[in-house]
Amino acid sequence: MKLIYFDNAATTRVDDDVLKAMIPYFTEKYGNASSTHFKGQEAKNALEDSRKTIAKAIGAKTSEIIFTSGGTESNNLALKGLFFWNQENNTGKNHIITTRIEHDCVLNSCRWLEKQGAKITYLDVDAEGLISLDELEKAITPKTILVSIIHGNNEIGTIQNMEAIGSICRKKGVLFHTDACQSFTKVPIDVRKQNLNLVTLNSHKIHGPKGVGALYIQEGIPITPVSHGGGHERKIRSGTENVSGIVGFAKAVEISKKKDIENMIRLRDRLIEGILRIPNTKLNGSRTKRLCNNVNISFNNIEGESIGGYLEQIGICTSTGSACASHSLETSHVLKSIGLTPIQANSSLRISISKYTTDEEINYFLENLARIVEKLRKISPIK
Ligand SMILES: Cc1ncc(COP(=O)(O)O)c(C=O)c1O
């Protein structure tokens, strides 16, 4: 049976060149980057070269990149670290603005911070998943510490306008953080132009290894550490650095190509057009402000889970929400936020492609999807 992997928003295959770059850091160059001897320095050099590559990719200084264990940790560190610093320094500021369509690691951090005394504003989004810039501006108060808004959404692929949000934050004198796990290397990020003070990045969405990420923290932004130890990573994130993983992460960034993005856009559009030919289907998210690898469709009267199950039987992996949310049977908070009814939301399927996706895979998928949907609609009790 063919394997067609269309769940690249959950994670991606590690690129062969990434793996090749990592291997020596397990077997030969296994030193601890904090050791002063030559084995340690070998690892330290690799760590600093990787930091340089990642900083350059977002227009940051090398010293502004902190390595972490991934997107979840970076988002927790950004939100909690800033909140704790404000508490410790009695600034009187306790307000964070975010959106209703963030990844769970931002939403659940915010919910936890509410119990510690934070006030959180959750901005609504429109039918395409875009925030209102007016509402954002109105929500900022003298107590606002931070605006944290996801760049490219993991479920519906909507891309927010970083420049516009950044300029509002600059004008109002509040900090701006974005979770760029889904958009990194796919949509340009320039921390100076977009006035970004903090950016969350990770490796496993871009053909790098799992368990590695970074947080860009602009020089001079105070962050209180959330875990304590030997003072690694500018005393902000203690713990022996995952050198092999970090080398792989940097390699994944280095080999990312504009040509691959353009090809994904073409394949994504083939998918969207092909699927929308099936009657009674609807594209979720924005047609134009959309990640190159994301397709999310509602099929109305049939369950996304059933479509996914039938596709899986013929070797096609898709998803009905974010990878984390699929642990629960709850209706997606993102689809609810863009106005879908629970029935519409539960009839949705996310198809996320990668640079390895081919036209043949798209053809095979479209042929089989039309057949599966027709079959399921015939037996569906909801008409
Ligand atoms: C938008 C977004 N933020 C954060 C995360 C969490 O990243 P990680 O799996 O590296 O902890 C993910 C991935 O699941 C994501 O898609």
Q: Which atom from ligand 1 is nearest to the alpha carbon of 102? A: 1
Residues of 328-353 as b/e, b for ≥16 C-beta within 10 angstroms?
A: eeebbbbbbbbebeeebbbbbbbbbb
Query: What is the residue-averaged pLDDT of the chain?
Result: 96
Please state the separation of Cα 230 from the chain's center in Å: 29
Let me know: does 344 contact 149? Beta carbons within 8 Å.
no
- Going by their DSSP bridges, the two strands 175-179 and 144-148 should be labelled as parallel
CA of 368 to the centre of ligand 1 (A): 30
Domains 4-12+257-379 and 16-254 share a fold: no
Q: Which atom from ligand 1 is nearest to the alpha carbon of 324? A: 14
- For residue range 183-203, list pLDDT tens digits in order: 999 999 999 999 999 999 999
CA of 333 to the centre of ligand 1 (A): 16
Token pair for residue 311?
């596709």
- For 121, the enclosing helix (H) or strand (E) is strand 119-123
- For residue range 316-352, list pLDDT tens digits in order: 999 996 544 554 568 999 999 999 999 999 999 999 9
Percent of the chain with pLDDT over 70: 97
Token pair for residue 273?
């057009």
pLDDT under 50 in the chain at which residues? 323-324, 327
Question: Which residue out of 205, 246, 293 has the highest number of ligand 1 atoms within 8 Å of its CB and is therefore the one to mutate?
Answer: 205
For atom 4 of ligand 1, the residue with the nearest CA is 71
Distance separating alpha carbons of residues 318 and 6, to the nearest angstrom:
5
Which pLDDT score is estimated for 327?
46
With helix as H, strand as E and coil as C, how does 177-209 read? EEECCCCCCCCCCCCCCCCCCEEEEECCCCCCC
Q: Which atom from ligand 1 is nearest to the alpha carbon of 9? A: 16
Q: Which residues contact 182 (CB under 8 A, 6 or more apart)?
A: 9, 150, 151, 152, 153, 154, 157, 205, 291, 294
Distance separating alpha carbons of residues 114 and 95, to the nearest angstrom:
10
- For 216, the enclosing helix (H) or strand (E) is strand 213-217
Token pair for residue 296?
């999310």
Q: Under CATH, to which class is 16-254 assigned?
A: alpha beta
Which pLDDT score is estimated for 112?
98
Distance separating alpha carbons of residues 99 and 178, to the nearest angstrom:
11
Enumerate the active-site residues. 324
Pocket of ligand 1 (CB under 6 A): 70-72, 103, 105, 150, 154, 179, 181-182, 202, 204, 213, 323
For atom 8 of ligand 1, the residue with the nearest CA is 71
> Which of 355, 32, 62, 323 is closest to 186 using CA atoms?
355
Residue 175 three-state SS: strand
Give the relative orientation of helices 258-276 and 359-379 as an angle to the nearest 10 degrees: 30
Which pLDDT score is estimated for 329?
65
Q: Which fold has domain 4-12+257-379?
A: Aspartate Aminotransferase, domain 1 (3.90.1150)
Q: Where are the domains of the chain?
A: 4-12+257-379, 16-254
Is the overall model pTM greater than 0.95, yes or no? yes
Which pLDDT score is estimated for 258?
97
- Going by their DSSP bridges, the two strands 4-5 and 316-317 should be labelled as parallel
For residue 200, list its beta bridge partners.
179, 215
